[in-house]
Chain A
Amino acid sequence: MKTLQAPLPLTRRKMLRESALGFGSLALIQLLQEDLLSTEGNYHDLKKREPHFDPKVKSVILMMQNGGPSQMDLFDPKPELNKRNGQKHTGAIEQFQPGSEQNKLLGMPFDFEKYGENGMDFASPLPHMASVADEFCKIRSMISGHNNHTEALVMFNTGKIFAGRPALGSWVSYGLGTANQNLPAYIVLRDERGYNTSGTLLWQNGWMPAIYGGTEVATQGTPVLNLKAANSRPQGVEAQNLALLDKLNTKFRLRYPQETDLDTRIQNYELAARMQLSAPEILDLSKESAETKKLYGVEQEHTELSRYGTRCLMARRLVESGVRFIQVFPPASPNSQPWDSHGNVKTQNESICKIVDQPTAALVKDLKQRGLLDSTLIIWSGEFGRLPISQNGSGRDHNRNACTTLLAGGGVKGGLSYGATDELGYRSVEKVTTVHDLHATILHQLGLDHNKLTYHHQGHSESLTDTRVTQAKVIHDILT
C-alpha cells in the first residue's frame, strides 16, 4: 500500500486549523473549494454569489395566503355586484365545485374605503393593512394556473401546476447562496400545529440538491429539526464529541485530498455547532420591546393572532439575520386553507382577517422603521381569487381568472393599484399578470435575470420561469 499524504490541501487545512477561530475560516475553505470545483455547470453549495446586476433587495418574504382570498370582497370593489346582488348572471362563469348552480351574483358584504395618498381600496376587515396603503403595490389583475388549491399553490410557488420542480425560494438560494452561514438560506415559517394545503410541496428543492430546499423553522420548541439532542447530556459532552469527530474525520479526509465533500462535512459539523448557539436566538422574543410585541399582537400567547404574529415577527428577525427567502404561512388549524370561503364570505373573511391583518401591517411598519423595508420585498397573495357568483348561498367558489396580489418594500411603487378586472371582478382584463411575471419580477429585484438563472437537469437547461413556454416578463411598470 502506498503511504498516505495529502499534497496541496493539507497546507490549507493546516492553515484553517491553525487560525484562531475554527470557523472564522470558512472563506478559506470556500477558496479551497473554488480551486477544485469545475467552473462549468450547477452550483452545489450555499456560498454567497454575486447577482447578475445590482439588486434592489436582499431578502424576500412570501406571505402565502392558502385558500384564495376573495379579491372583490377585500381589495377590488365591484359596485356592479351590489347593484345586481341576487340577479342571475347570463354570461358563462367557469364553476368548479357544486353549489353555484344558480349563477346568481353575490354582493360584497363589507364597506370599502380609499386609503393613503393615492386612494387604495381596502375593505373594512383590513384596517391595519389599509393604514399602510401607501407601502403596498396592489396587482389586481393576477391570474392563476388552476382552479384547484394544490395545483394553484404548487404553480404559485414553483411555476408549474404539477409538483416536482424547485420552489421560488430554492431558485433564490441556488442563485445567490446565503449571506448568513449560521442559518439556512431559505426558511419556512408555518403553523406549529400542522401543514397548510400542499405542505412541503411549496418549499421543495425538486431536482436541485437538498441544500436548496426550504428549512422549516418552528415557532415553538426547537426551531430546527434535531437542533438539540434528543437525550440531555451533561455539558461538555457535546464539545468533546465534536472534537473527537473532527479528529476522526480529518484523518479520513487526508486520504482523499480531492474530495471536497469531506471538507463540507467537517465544516457542517462546525456549522451545526454554531447553529445550536445562534438558531435558538431566532425564537427568543424576550429582547423585543413591549411596543413591538403589541404591534404584532403577540403579547398574549397561544391565540390565533399571536401565532401568526410570531411568525411575522420571526420573519423580521430572519431578515435582520440575512436570510434570503422566508415563507410565512397562515393558520393551518382548524382549516389548512383559511381563506377558502365557500360557505360564507362575510364570516369566514372576518375571522381570518382578524388573524392576518394586524401582523401583516406590523411587519411592513416594523421593517420600515428599522430601515429594512427598502431591502426587503414582501409578497402577500393567495393562489387564486373567487367568483362573483354565490355558492351555498353566501360563499364563493374558486376563480383562476382573477386574484389580487399585494407587494411591499424594495423597489416597488407604493400606493399603486395596477391592472384591473371586469365589472364583476370575474376576469382580469387590464395588464393581465401571470405568476411567471411575478416570479420574473421577484428575481429581478434580487438582481437575477430570470432567463439567465438556469439549472442543468438531465441535459436540459431549466429555469424557474421557462420563458419560452410562459412568456414571462418583468413587470417594470410597478417598479420604481
Chain B
Amino acid sequence: MPESLSRDNHDIHDSQGIHVASRRRALGALAAGIGLIIVRPARATPEDLVLALREAFGDRQIARGRVSLEIPRLAENGNVVPVIVRVESAMTPQDHVTGISLFAEKNQLPRMLDVRLGPYNGKAVVSSRIRVATSQQITAVAQLSDGSLWSASAEIEVVTSDCGL
C-alpha cells in the first residue's frame, strides 16, 4: 500500500528518525492579526499571502488541523496539479463546513479558489485541478459553521522552476 500523499500533519522525519514537525512551527514572523498559520522556520509568510488571507478572513485566527490537503510532492510544470481537500466534519446542520479556500503563496494571485459547502454534501471532500506557478506552499483554509477557521499546508516542487540556470 503506497504511503499517503497527504501532508496535513507535516509528519516528516529526518534521516535519523527525529520527528521534525515541531521544528516547523514558527509563529513569529506573521503579520499582526493573522493567526496560527504554520510557516517554514527560515521563511516568513510572503506578504502577498498575508494580504490575501486578510482579505478573505479579516483578522480572524486561522488554526491548524482538521483539514487534510493532498497534492503531489512534485509537479512537472505546475499547469495541472490535482488537489484534494478533506475536512473532518460530521456535516450535520449543527456542525458542518461552510466553505473551503485555496491559497498559493507565490502565485501571481495567491487566492486560487473558493467553494461553498453545507450539510447537504454529507462529506467535506472536494477535488479540483490547479495551476501552481512555482515551487511553493499551498494552503487550504476551511470555515466551519461555528465560524472557526482551520487550515493545512503542503509543499509542492514545480520541477521546471528549478531548471538549472
- Tell whether A pairs with B: no
Q: Measuring CB to CB, which residues of chain A are less than 8 angstroms from any residue of chain B?
A: none
Residues of B within 8 A of A (CB): none
